[in-house]
């Protein structure tokens, strides 16, 4: 496996993360105004996982994410206007204003999310099964949290994918918490990737706040999967900065300490790659500042547009209901 990437790819990863971070921070800032009525799980702090993995995907690949899905949606090519309008519940939202944040999906990009823990893991395996039956080179990616790995369906899906040697990449975003319950209270003291490894597939644990490491590992695994190598598993160790659901910090909630949160904020994936790129002379601070200004204009435009977009009509109420 390679252990370096070109400046071009590193810059692309950084720009993707900056865009995700800025979009979420702006949404979090205006969320208290009450215009977005959807419960919202922010990915702030976890961007490197989606940015790194989605960058290795090709046309036709499929992405399945969980309730914390904004990063995967944007990294997977989802349209920002469609996302913002969806959060505002407008007819122009990528799901017609019906999904809100936790079901954010862009079928045009083969990108789907849903908040039932582990619910889309078997769907990702099903998509991989169809790719295998069609003898295509596409792969499916299942993003899920550490708690979702506790759902029975994860074991069944993993087993089926292994037995059938399906083209699926399992990506666990281990942020240590299931809402407010720490991993140590919920799982045995054997890291998940080791338990998965005991099933005989390649399974690794990596620093999920290092976008370059995530990219390199995902690239290696995706290539092997495309060549018929069967499923692979990546456990990305990361951390969410904000509360479980909603736009605030939760320093006053005793399930974790402010000191712990701040220590992870120091390991912020975006700042880290930004600093590395500037220090190595790969990019200048001023060019990033102008990129950030451009992104802010794009985000503010999307918000303004969503505010003025139409609501879904009553006539559409039963559309797509089965």
Ligand X SMILES: Cc1ncc(C[n+]2csc(CCOP(=O)(O)OP(=O)(O)O)c2C)c(N)n1
Residues that bind ligand X (CB under 6 A): 67-68, 115-117, 145-148, 175, 177-179, 244
The residue from 101, 110, 175, 209 that contacts Mg ion (CB under 5 A) is 175
Scan for tokens 């989606």, then name that residue.
50
Nearer to Mg ion, 195 or 224 (CB): 195
Question: 117, 107, 109, 114: which is closest to 157 by C-alpha?
Answer: 117
Nearer to ligand X, 190 or 314 (CB): 190
Which residue's Cβ has the minimum distance to ligand X? Answer: 145
- Verify binding: residue 145, Mg ion, rule CB under 5 A: yes
67, 113 contact by CB (below 8 A):
yes
Nearer to Mg ion, 24 or 146 (CB): 146
Question: 57, 107, 62, 45: which is closest to 82 by C-alpha?
Answer: 107
The residue from 146, 202, 210, 235 that contacts Mg ion (CB under 5 A) is 146
Residue 205 CA, chain-centre distance (Å), reads 17
Shortest reach from residue 311's CB to ligand X, in Å? 27
Which residue's Cβ has the minimum distance to Mg ion? Answer: 145
The option from ligand X, Mg ion, none interacting with 148 (CB < 5 to 8 A, set by class) reads ligand X
Ramachandran region, residue 42 (left: φ > 0; alpha: ψ -120 to 50; beta: rest): beta
Q: Count other C-beta atoms under 10 Å from residue 207's C-beta.
A: 16
Shortest reach from residue 182's CB to ligand X, in Å? 11
Question: 29, 65, 15: which is closest to 242 by C-alpha?
Answer: 29
Q: Would you tell me which residues interact with Mg ion (CB under 5 A)?
A: 145-146, 175, 177
């Amino acid at each position: 496996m390679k252990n370096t990437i070109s400046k071009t790819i590193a810059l692309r990863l950084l720009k993707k993360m900056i865009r995700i971070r800025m979009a979420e921070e702006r949404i979090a800032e205006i969320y208290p105004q009450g215009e977005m009525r959807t419960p919202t799980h922010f990915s702030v702090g976890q961007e490197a996982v989606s940015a790194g993995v989605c960058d290795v995907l090709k046309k036709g690949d499929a992405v399945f994410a969980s309730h914390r899905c904004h990063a995967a949606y944007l990294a997977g090519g989802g349209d920002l206007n469609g996302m913002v309008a969806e959060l505002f519940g407008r007819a122009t939202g990528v799901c017609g204003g019906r999904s809100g944040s936790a079901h954010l999906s862009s079928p045009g990009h083969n990108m789907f999310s849903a908040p039932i823990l582990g619910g889309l893991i078997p769907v990702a395996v099903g998509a991989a099964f169809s790719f295998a039956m069609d003898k295509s080179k596409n792969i499916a990616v299942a993003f899920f949290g550490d708690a979702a790995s506790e759902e029975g369906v994860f074991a069944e899906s993993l087993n089926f994918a292994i037995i059938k040697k399906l083209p699926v990449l399992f990506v666990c975003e281990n942020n240590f918490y299931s809402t407010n319950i720490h991993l140590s209270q919920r799982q045995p003291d054997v890291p998940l990737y080791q338990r998965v490894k005991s099933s005989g597939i390649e399974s690794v644990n990596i620093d999920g706040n290092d976008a370059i490491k995530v990219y390199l590992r995902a690239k290696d695994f995706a290539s092997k999967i495309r060549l018929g190598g069967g499923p692979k598993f990546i456990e990305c160790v990361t951390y969410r900065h904000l509360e479980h659901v909603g736009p605030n910090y939760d320093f006053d909630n005793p399930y974790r300490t402010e000191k712990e949160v701040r220590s992870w904020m120091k390991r912020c994936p975006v700042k880290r790659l930004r600093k590395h790129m500037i220090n190595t002379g790969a990019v200048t601070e001023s060019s990033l500042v102008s990129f950030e200004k451009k992104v802010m204009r794009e985000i503010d435009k999307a918000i303004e547009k969503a505010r003025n977009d139409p609501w879904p009509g009553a006539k559409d109420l039963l559309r797509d209901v089965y």
